[in-house]
Chain A
Amino acid sequence: KNEVEQSPQNLTAQEGEFITINCSYSVGISALHWLQQHPGGGIVSLFMLSSGKKKHGRLIATINIQEKHSSLHITASHPRDSAVYICAVTHTGNQFYFGTGTSLTVIP
């Protein structure tokens, strides 16, 4: 069983659509990270959060500690948002666990 589960695995959306990616985890965490990986491998950290909600531009990340669940929302999606989105948690024992990623394709 994976410590971090993401859904969906693959997602195709029309430009302008509202997108939600979900992440559930089973371990105690210090923080949860949302990462974005474009073709070619480069990874960018989008959010690090341990409670509540954070917003950056069209991206919103929420976390519910009691339910061990986080969501990443993209409003008004754009083709440049096409990437793999990875949920990662830092375990209270200082280990990092990663989800398998959600591959997002936004069609113009």
Chain B
Amino acid sequence: KAGVTQTPRYLIKTRGQQVTLSCSPISGHRSVSWYQQTPGQGLQFLFEYFSETQRNKGNFPGRFSGRQFSNSRSEMNVSTLELGDSALYLCASSLSQAVYNEQFFGPGTRLTVL
């Protein structure tokens, strides 16, 4: 069974631009969660999608948004990029809602904002 895949793996953008990251969960998994990891703040929860609906949201500004498609694939978008958005963005999938299930992580997308 294929694992969680994320594309692209590396991305360089400039301030003010927007970016879209993609996550394909393990087949059969219906929940996708997104996380941001930075050296200063560590891992932080962005949001979770389950059955195409945002179920939980972390404490991030509205510039961070996401969606989930009917095949459970998910995208997250960051608009008006800031230098502080440089981070490793990880997604994780689980069979059902992440609160009660083991999560399987993708390799991450490393975003650099110049």
A residues adjacent to B (C-beta < 8 A)? 30-31, 33, 35, 40-45, 48, 86, 88, 90, 94-101
Residues on the A chain within 8 Å of B65, using CB: none
Q: For the complex, would chain B's binding face be called helix, strand, loop or mixed by DSSP majority?
A: strand
Instruction: Count residues of B near A (Cβ-Cβ below 8 Å).
Output: 26
Docked complex Cα distance between A98 and B48 (Å): 15
Cβ contact within 8 Å between A45 and B104: yes
Cβ contact within 8 Å between A42 and B43: no
User: Which chain B residues in 10-40 approach chain A with CB under 8 Å?
Assistant: 33, 35, 37
* With A31-B100, A95-B56 as contacts: A45 and B43 at CB distance below 8 Å: no
Minimum Cβ distance to chain A for residue B108 (Å): 5
Minimum Cβ distance to chain B for residue A37 (Å): 9
Minimum Cβ distance to chain B for residue A54 (Å): 11
Interface pairs A-B: 7 shortest CB-CB: A96-B45, A43-B105, A98-B43, A94-B56, A90-B99, A41-B108, A100-B42
